[in-house]
Structure 1
Amino acid sequence: MLRIVVLGAAAGGGVPQWNCGCPVCVKARSERPELTSTQASIAFSRDGAHWYLVNASPDLRQQMIATPQLHPTKGLLRHSPIAGVILTNSEVDAVAGLLSMREGSPFSIYAHSRVLAILKDNSIFNVLGEKTVARQPIEVNQPFEPALPGGGPSGIEVLPFEVPGKGAWYLEGKAHPAGIDGVGDTLGLRIADKATGQYFYFLAACAHVTDELKARIKGAPLVFFDGTVWRDDEMIAAGLGHKTGQSMGHISMSGDHGAIESFAALDIARKVFLHINNSNPAWLKGSDERKALERAGWQIPTDGTEITL
């Protein structure tokens, strides 16, 4: 059995964002506190005792406090049920939370060599000493089994695969520590229970849905997918920025070739949007955008939502 907890569903900045006065953030601060959401990450477990995070958001400390499944075992002075963190990219949204796990509890970081090169190049991540926090390279299209504490098998198989996207924005115009070959900068994951065969997909960043991706995820029981913007020029139209969704490496929910249209014929049992920007009007229950995505069978989760497969 796989248990998945949504730690957060928002994109960078969360909802409300500290310096944002957009309609969603204003409502989250005042009459609609249920809109509050931390930055995107999930935790999953096969046995309920050992948990693995997918990405470590800047809100990770707050998320761990709010999630009883991730609390230390009662009676132990130092303990964490978190056995590992799997990184799908090197954006601040995905790696900054690692710094909240620097107090000496052992766990493993699983990431592509391109992402590990960025961690190595930035000395602040040395607070996670490699004698305690092992850094395990993963490869595109090569399944791996994250280890339990002590090195035993977890019974979980994770298959990383490449998806269309972009490298970390803070490296734009700079030399990448791992060189110019960009394969591995943005990954999707297929996560499966080896005993039961149950599985799900996680894609928090994706620039467009290719035919290859459609074939891969068709018929899946559960997919977490990039929901950054409702429309590609959303941030520009709202006066919040100058970048399109595509220029940031993210597909829109709506429109021709958007996520909703692209998934329409894929027979996926449960479709969940993650990494949703505060500019996205689909946050607002009762909005035309929210009604449209729900009619199409999509869900926007609240922090703490648990799903069992």
Structure 2
Amino acid sequence: MKLIILGAGAGGGLPQWNCGCQNCSDARAGRIPRMTQSSVAISSDGRDWVVLNASPDIRHQLDAAAPLHPRGLRDSPVSSVILTNGDIDHIAGALILREKSPFALYATTAGLDIVNSNSVFGVLDPELVSKRQIALDARFDPLPGLSVTPFAVPGKVALFLEGETLNLEEVGEQTVGLLIESHGKRVAYVPGCAAIPEWLLARLENLDLLLFDGTVWNNDDMQRTGTGEKTGARMGHVPQNGALGSLAQLAAVNGRKMYIHINNTNPILQPDSPERAVVLNAGWEIASDGLEITL
């Protein structure tokens, strides 16, 4: 199984266009690497690829990844896109893929409702782009030799769907993780997760690689950096730090573990920060744009 981290950042990427925090300033100055918004490409043979979440940065991401370049005059190795939720940083890139190349768009009923109810997605030619419904815990094969099983994780609806009442840890089709299996290897992709209950831990056993939500270090990252008032919990993301954070909760999960979907304010992005040292000393890796992984 082959993977390419197309984008390691959370919504807005690094640097975020309107942010002058230390991380964003350092990224602009070239002191720390830039990150585009979270997306992963995965393949069973290195020729045909599935993209997990269509980031708004997808044009740049595909251009930066040589295995995803056209193989002919009008061609794309991208055979399908799978959506894990309806966040703008995961669905807006589908609009970039409108230039008359066929692919399949997979999403839960909740995800397809978002696409089908918004007329702007009509730019995706229905004769070329097939929309395929996926169900929780039901395995499907987007490519020969590669299977995917979506599973629910605690989360919230996309920002533009929020109403007067809001469940920040809702469990259902609005936020899913993906178990990907190929050639006897197992990968879980969970870019958004609001809590880690015992039943989710059971889902994450016996993996060769876990790509997990690394949005915030502490729940109040944005407040501490003066960049906003929203907490990680309000955005639907479990922090890395603390007794209920992912570092502690996932400590017993074996296999390779890597944080992805990292917010521009997260201190682990600084190479000499104590927070980064804690993450690395705990055996975790930190995703970066362009990273290629073979399992």
Tell whether the structures are fold-level matches, with TM greater than 0.5.
yes
RMSD: 1.4
**Deviation at residue 51 of structure 1 after TM alignment:** 0.2
Q: Distance in 2 between matches of 1:279 and 1:100?
A: 27
Q: Distance in 1 between matches of 2:153 and 2:171?
A: 11
Q: Distance in 2 between matches of 1:239 and 1:215?
A: 37
Instruction: Indicate the residue corresponding to 1:100 in structure 2.
Output: 96
SS of the counterpart of 2:219? Answer: coil
- Aligned pairs (5 A) from 1:184-223: 184-193=173-182, 196-223=183-210
Question: Could you tell me the TM-score, scaled by structure 2's length?
Answer: 0.96
Instruction: Assess, with a 3 A threshold, how the Cα gap between structure 1 residues 111 and 174 changes in structure 2: closer, same or farther.
Output: farther
Q: Are residue 165 (structure 1) and residue 155 (structure 2) matched? A: yes
Identity over aligned residues, as a percent? 45
2:217–2:241 contact (8 Å) kept in structure 1: yes
1:189–1:202 contact (8 Å) kept in structure 2: yes
SS of the counterpart of 1:192? Answer: strand
Residue 59 (structure 2) aligned to one of 42, 58, 61 = 61
Q: Distance in 2 between matches of 1:201 and 1:302?
A: 17
- Aligned pairs (5 A) from 1:25-104: 25-32=24-31, 34-73=32-71, 76-104=72-100
Q: Which amino acid aligns with 1:275?
A: H
Instruction: Indicate the residue corresponding to 1:109 in structure 2.
Output: 105
**Deviation at residue 31 of structure 1 after TM alignment:** 4.4
- Aligned pairs (5 A) from 1:252-267: 252-267=239-254
Map Cα deviations across residues 31-59 of structure 1 (whole Å, 9 max, x no partner).
Answer: 41x42011110000001110000000010
Map Cα deviations across residues 158-195 of structure 1 (whole Å, 9 max, x no partner).
Answer: 000000001101111289xxxxx9720000010001xx
2:54–2:92 contact (8 Å) kept in structure 1: yes
2:136–2:151 contact (8 Å) kept in structure 1: yes
Aligned length: 291
1:283–1:290 contact (8 Å) kept in structure 2: yes
Map Cα deviations across residues 54-82 of structure 1 (whole Å, 9 max, x no partner).
Answer: 00001000001100010001xx2100000
SS of the counterpart of 1:145? Answer: strand
Stretches of 4+ moved more than 6 A in 1? none
Map Cα deviations across residues 171-225 of structure 1 (whole Å, 9 max, x no partner).
Answer: 11289xxxxx9720000010001xx221100000000111011112123110000
Q: Are residue 303 (structure 1) and residue 251 (structure 2) matched? A: no
Q: Which amino acid aligns with 2:76?
A: S
1:110–1:137 contact (8 Å) kept in structure 2: yes
Q: Are residue 277 (structure 1) and residue 250 (structure 2) matched? A: no
2:153–2:172 contact (8 Å) kept in structure 1: no
Structure 2 residue runs without a partner (length 5+) = none
Instruction: Indicate the residue corresponding to 2:279 in structure 1.
Output: 293
Structure 1 residue runs without a partner (length 5+) = 148-153, 176-180
Q: Distance in 2 between matches of 1:125 and 1:10?
A: 24
1:15–1:37 contact (8 Å) kept in structure 2: yes
Instruction: Indicate the residue corresponding to 1:151 in structure 2.
Output: none
Q: Distance in 1 between matches of 2:259 and 2:85?
A: 18
Q: Are residue 229 (structure 1) and residue 216 (structure 2) matched? A: yes
Q: Which amino acid aligns with 1:23?
A: Q
Question: Could you tell me the TM-score, scaled by structure 1's length?
Answer: 0.92
Q: Which amino acid aligns with 1:261?
A: A
